Amino acid sequence: MGSKTRGFPSIYPGTRSGKAEGIEFKTKKKGEKIMKFRKWILLFSAALFIFCAGSGIVTGADKEPINIGAIASLTGYLSDQAQNVVEGTELAVDQINAEGGLLGRPLKVHIRDDEMKPPVGARRFEDLVKNQGIVMHTGIVFAPVASSIQQTNKQLEDKGVVLFQAATSHLEQNPKNMQSNLFFIGSSLEAYGLVGGEHMARNVGKKTFILYADYAGWGWVIRDAFIKSATANGGEILGSLAVPPGTTDFQPFLTQVMAKNPDYATFIVNGMMFINCMKQAYAMGLKDKMKFVTFHVNIEEVNGCGPEVIKDVLLVTDYFWNMQNDKNKEFLERYFKKYGSGKRPSMRTFLHYASVMIWADAVKKAGKVDPKTVSASLVGFKGDYGKGEIEIRKTGDHTTVQPIVVARGKGPNEMKDKFDTQEIVKLYTGEKYFYTPKEKGWE
């Protein structure tokens, strides 16, 4: 009668013995044998199809990766911030792939260095679009590179991709400059000023003197929003001074601040300018005479100041790693698992992680990866990736309305460990802390 053996039937129909890779079946005539063999092939093929479909297994061209890009200044004085961009992007890609990919396909990220040169960034971005087939781009830490990539993406017209940036302002969100596929995972810069002005006037003091970085796309925007909010809440501006970009000696500016004797000093400077300003203000004894507030601060800048200098300084920004909510705890667990617990994620790490995650969720909603469809899906999108709910406006400015953090720097005697450098004082939420679409030229 023949015997049965365990195994799977062969898909090759050339067996003359009646065995098909471990399957033996009864035969009486050669024709019956061939017919039965064909039945086995059909049955096995159907079973394999059902198994693959049910278990989410994909084959062949279906497994082609979805390509995304991240260009950042990996060489130059912004390289540390650029590395944070890379870490956040890769963390999101790892998470999505571990959960089965996106629309049944894996994500692949292409990292490039713009060398802090706008033409280099634009050229490498165009190469990623044309030759690597990216459909989404996140990254950029140097504003001039951001502008060049935006312009290149605009020139690509229908071949342009979804662009995410960490920050923006009404200067690029107006109808003349905006693009339908341009989005911002961080806050619009005016939000820091509007929150800071309200918080300081209501909780710290009425009189302030302002030092601000003298460039339009950052320092001026936060300054103007701060003045608007502080005065609306009963504050008084005693004066302001523009600080040239790259300034290292702040003593002449700080001397004028001290002469005005404000309740608090408002410092709208960033990067090494912020660190130098804070250290020199501490050395001159200003902290004994007034409070300080500053804006758009990264954990690297807090650490660069040191606990004695940063103690009691109020920090208005997008994110700190010790925000207390379940989503952020999940983010931290993934971060520590991949990068270890020897450091803490920066604001840029979180924001570029969140940019990939919100884009991926919009892809799932759209059911497609093509940039035009995904861009339409992102408009009005809501999500929470670790700092509370964020929402992309439906109007053409694409402002991402989200919580703004006010934190306080901790002194050495308060710190539980070397990472315990700040505490969250308050989260400010709502449309009132962002310029309206009309103020950005959309109504």
Q: Is 440 within the bounds of a domain?
A: no
421 assigned to some structural domain:
yes
The tokens for 130 are 């044309």
181 lies in the same domain as 328 = yes
Does one domain contain both 140 and 204? no
* pLDDT at residue 23, as a whole number: 26
Domain match, 370 and 423 both? no
User: What is the per-residue pLDDT for 62?
Assistant: 55
**Shared domain check, 377 and 254:** no
Backbone angles phi, psi at 313, to 5 degrees: -75, 135
- Specify the number of domains making up the chain: 3
Residues 107 and 249 in one domain: no
420 domain-assigned: yes
One domain, residues 47 and 73: no
115 shares its domain with 43: no
Q: Cβ(312)–Cβ(287) under 8 Å?
A: yes
The answer to whether residue 438 sits within a structural domain is no
At 83-129, the pLDDT tens digits run: 999 999 999 999 999 999 999 999 999 999 999 999 999 999 999 99
Query: Do residues 299 and 346 both lie within one domain?
Result: no
| Residues 104 and 184 both lie in one domain | yes
Q: Which domain holds residue 127?
A: 62-188+324-401
d(CA 163, CA 70): 10
Q: 135 and 176 share a domain?
A: yes
Query: Same domain, yes or no, for 343 and 383?
Result: yes
Q: What is the CATH number of the domain that holds 302?
A: 3.40.50.2300
Q: What HEC string does 103-118 produce?
A: CCECEEEEEEECCCCH
- Joined together, the tokens standing for residue 200 give 């300081």
Identify the segments of the chain with pLDDT beneath 70. 1-62
DSSP 181: T
Residue at token pair 């979805």: 66
**Using DSSP, how many helices (H) and how many strands (E) does the chain show?**
13, 15
pLDDT at position 58? 41
Last residue of a domain, one of 33, 57, 81: 57
pLDDT, residue 36, reads 47
Tens of pLDDT, residue by residue over 136-152, are: 999 988 888 999 999 99
Same structural domain, 243 and 265: yes
The reply to whether 352 falls in a domain is yes
- Assess if residue 442 is contained within a domain: no
In 168-189, which positions are buried (b, 16+ CB within 10 angstroms) versus exposed (e)?
bbbebbeeebbbebbbbbbbbb
User: Model-level pTM?
Assistant: 0.84
Q: Is residue 443 part of a domain?
A: no
d(CA 35, CA 18): 11
Cα 67 from Cα 371, distance rounded (Å):
12
